[in-house]
Amino acid sequence: MPDNITWNILGAGAIGCLWASALHSAGRQPRLLLRDPASLQRYRAAGGVTLVRDGEAHTHAIDASCAAAVTAPLRQLLITTKAHQTLEALAPLAAQLAPDATVVLLQNGLGVAEQLRQHYPGLRIYQASTTEGAYRSAPFRVVHAGRGSTVIGAAGNSERSQLAACAAGLSAPPLAVSVSDDIERILWRKLAVNCAINPLTAIHRCCNGELLERPEVLEELHAVVEEIVCLSKALGYSDWVEGMLDTVLGVAHATGANRSSMLQDLESGRLTEIDYISGHLCRLADAKSIDLPANRALLDQLHTLETLSGCR
């Protein structure tokens, strides 16, 4: 049977469902790869992916398959799982992944691309970053709450024409994906924002904007960003962190009413992305024998909270 699937999407959370529904509306043929038969059954019971935008809900009967049941070679894979779930989610697909498949990582945190390169050396790995605002209001139901933009790029040398084709393939109204030559800087700045906002909101159980209103928390935030700036200088990334504190404060303000993804994970008893956010930063610092006491303290506190909530 011919395989007309354009993009396989691994991770049916808010961003995975948002992309799946946009591609489906555009007449492409995406496929959701679900964890197990029970998830597939829940998906079928939901009737597909429901996208809510501007108060209107539309259900898209998108092709879905249990990851372990995929037989045709996978050539294009968009990964939208949480960073820490990536390797485990990918394992059942390993035999089906074309050796030179294109894999796009669209997730919070850093460190997964390096792990994939180690485990699957032939893959063409691209990284993407989005400011689209979306949240899951129920399983397979996503609210597209805020329009944003998305960039894609690759570390090191990569053929621009392939990247451009990939960006075009993943662009579907209203989602626009463009190629960036600066993806490492963009992801690093996003990491810094997440290192500062996410653990502090999770520890203090507050919305992003409240970080700015509590002087003792704001002091912690300043210390976290200062350490990131120091580490960035030691790593040779000085120009990646220009105006970093203002950016972090600006994001906390602009997303003031948001409950960060880390706070939501913790409150729902899910493992957070801390090991790929503050953990990634601390691993890089360790390799340079640089001390990051404020960031390390947040990492340790999150581990303790995860243990207390029973998910670690």
Q: Annotated catalytic residue: which of 82, 190, 233, 288? A: 190
In the complex with ligand KPL, the residue whose CB is nearer, 41 or 131, is: 131
Exposed / middle / buried, residue 196 (Cβ in 10 Å: 0-12, 13-18, 19+): buried
Nearest by Cα to 167 from 181, 156, 157: 181
- Minimal distance in Å, beta carbon 255 to ligand KPL? 4
> Interface with ligand KPL includes 251 (CB under 6 A)?
yes
Consecutive H or E run containing 74: strand 74-79
> Based on CB atoms, which residue is closest to ligand KPL, 194 or 295?
194
Task: Please provide the size of the chain in residues.
Answer: 312
Nearer to ligand KPL among residue 34 and residue 112 (C-beta): 112
Token pair belonging to 48: 């597909």
Residue 150 interacts with ligand KPL (CB under 6 A): yes or no:
no
Give me the phi and psi of 145, to 5 degrees please.
-90, -25
**Pairing relationship of beta strands 74-79 and 8-10 according to DSSP bridges:** parallel
User: How far apart, in whole angstroms, are the C-alpha atoms of residue 271 and residue 71?
Assistant: 31
Name the segment binding ligand KPL (CB under 6 A); options: 75-83, 84-92, 178-186, 253-261.
253-261
- The answer to whether residue 272 forms part of the interface with ligand KPL (CB under 6 A) is no
Distance, CA of 19 to CA of 170 (rounded, Å): 8
CB of 247 to ligand KPL, least distance (A): 11
Contact predicate 22/172, CB 8 Å: yes
Binding segment (CB under 6 A) for ligand KPL, from list 13-21, 175-183, 191-199, 229-237: 191-199
Residue 297: partners with Cβ closer than 8 Å, 6 or more residues away: none
Q: Is 190 a catalytic residue?
A: yes
Which one of residues 6, 81, 85, 108 is an interface residue with ligand KPL (CB under 6 A)? 108
Binding segment toward ligand KPL, per CB under 6 A, in 8-16, 117-125, 152-160, 255-263: 255-263
**192-221 binders of ligand KPL (CB under 6 A):** 193-194, 197-198, 208
Q: How far is the C-alpha of 204 from the C-alpha of 217, rounded, in Å?
A: 8
Nearer to ligand KPL, 197 or 281 (CB): 197
| Residue ranges in contact with ligand KPL by CB under 6 A | 108, 193-194, 197-198, 208, 251, 255, 258, 260-261
Catalytic residues: 190
